Structure 1
Amino acid sequence: MENTDDTAATDDLARLAADARKLTAGVPRAVLGIAGPPGTGKSTLARALVERIGEDAAYLPLDGFHLSNGQLARLGLTGRKGSEPSFDVAGYVALLRRVLGDPGHDIYVPDYDRTLHEPVAARHLVPPAARLVITEGNYLACDLPGWRAAYDLMAECWYLDSPAEVRQRRLVERQLAGGRSPEEAVTWVATNDGPNGELVETSRGRCGRILSEIGMDMFN
């Protein structure tokens, strides 16, 4: 993939949507991945693109493949929820393969519920009309077992970034909204989200397009 660096001044939502549509040329269905560190706005961008494109697009978040809290406890990963090993990457790859190989049927997609703090089944739908499936998550471009297979199924993978201070603020706000105290939120971000983001940053060079410092206003 050719790596290009784009800024908010040139990458408006309409242009991104038009470029995303081109990925379906000559194929029954294509997958566009959006990778990036925690707190960059990947889900906001993915949902905005799906809304802009309309019925030809569908949303598939990696977060639906979080392991349950029970499984995290069994594996000793409760304090590393959201880290690379805390996802069912094999299940994610299997769903991507089904999405590409079975375009004629409804395919149900799990999500993560930030109120329940658990993954939930079948919240999203990939209908037969969807020619483009937009998936987003931290580790989509990581050169690691399992994630390589996911990356290979994507027509393109874009990398969304934002300033570190912006990511920090969003991540702390996310933890506060989830019920942690201010001290707990800051500690969680420093000891968990921070290291996760450092790992994701190593995948930047594997992404075909870098979207830098994009303001969230453009997605409204």
Structure 2
Amino acid sequence: MENTADQHPGSLPRLAADAWRLTESVPRAVLGIAGPPGTGKSTLARALVERLGAGAAYLPLDGFHLSNGQLARLGLTARKGSEPSFDVGGYVALLRRVLDDRAHDIYVPDYDRTLHEPVAARHRVAPEARLVVTEGNYLACDLPGWRAAHGLLGECWYIDSPAEVREQRLVERQLAGGRTPAEAADWVATNDGPNGELVETSRERCGRILSTIGMDMFNSRQ
């Protein structure tokens, strides 16, 4: 897929208008936002949905984290957030339902950073929603399951940011989750870092590349 680097993507209204164009020829479209951990995917996705109002809905991949119990069963506790720690089949099934069923409310799970567990039905795709914005690390990865997810997206945007900025955000996230500074640094180095390296291989499969330099623009109401 040919992509365009957009280091200065402009204001939130422009991005929202570009996203809304996906709905011009279809009853409902899905915009995917991919990128390494800590780049601001959820910040942008939520801002777009808020800007577009009732015509848009939010669907985070993080709702498809396996539970801590399942991670322990699979030996993935230390790799929580890695590609195999998600229910990609469930995620693809929900994307298909979102595109096929425009007559009913569709409830969407999320991840709770206080409980450290996925929770059901936190978000809702209402019948009037024309654009669903989904975000997650692996949406553009050329891997089993994720290829199917990528194929359901009207477009996939990739968000990038400097490695040092991502690392600082990720350490702060782990500190807020209750880890000590040493534990937070180790988690980022041994888990978030390798996850980000995998995601970076999917960059060329995205049609648009955005920089999070000047991330405050995503909160703009201009």
Could you say which TM-score interval applies, normalised by the shorter chain? over 0.9
Counterpart secondary structure, 1:55: helix
Give TM-score, length-normalised by structure 1. Answer: 0.98
CA deviation profile, 1:72-123 (whole Å, cap 9, x unmatched): 0000000000000000000000000000000111000000000000000000
Q: Give the equivalent residue in structure 2 for 1:207.
A: 206
Establish whether residue 2 from structure 1 lines up as the match of residue 5 from structure 2.
no
In the TM superposition, residue 214 of structure 1 has moved relative to its aligned partner by 3.3
**Identical pairs, percent:** 84
RMSD of aligned Cα (Å): 0.8
In the TM superposition, residue 181 of structure 1 has moved relative to its aligned partner by 0.3
Unaligned ranges ≥5, structure 1: none
In the TM superposition, residue 11 of structure 1 has moved relative to its aligned partner by 2.5
CA deviation profile, 1:136-170 (whole Å, cap 9, x unmatched): 00000000000000000000000001111110000
Establish whether residue 134 from structure 1 lines up as the match of residue 133 from structure 2.
yes
| Matches for 1:76-95 after TM superposition, within 5 Å | 76-95=75-94
Q: Give the equivalent residue in structure 2 for 1:181.
A: 180
Unaligned ranges ≥5, structure 2: none
| Matches for 1:12-31 after TM superposition, within 5 Å | 12-31=11-30
Counterpart secondary structure, 2:66: coil
In the TM superposition, residue 2 of structure 1 has moved relative to its aligned partner by 3.2
Pair 1:146–1:12, CA change in 2 (3 A): same
In the TM superposition, residue 190 of structure 1 has moved relative to its aligned partner by 0.1
Counterpart secondary structure, 1:37: coil
Counterpart secondary structure, 2:33: strand
Q: Give the equivalent residue in structure 2 for 1:172.
A: 171
**Equivalent position amino acid for 1:56 in 2:** G
Q: Give the equivalent residue in structure 2 for 1:149.
A: 148
Counterpart secondary structure, 1:74: helix
Q: Give the equivalent residue in structure 2 for 1:11.
A: 10
- How far apart, CA to CA, are the structure 2 residues paired with 1:159 and 1:216? 14
Give TM-score, length-normalised by structure 2. Answer: 0.97
- How far apart, CA to CA, are the structure 2 residues paired with 1:219 and 1:4? 19
- How far apart, CA to CA, are the structure 2 residues paired with 1:219 and 1:205? 23
**Equivalent position amino acid for 1:86 in 2:** S
- How far apart, CA to CA, are the structure 1 residues paired with 2:138 and 2:6? 21
In the TM superposition, residue 25 of structure 1 has moved relative to its aligned partner by 1.0
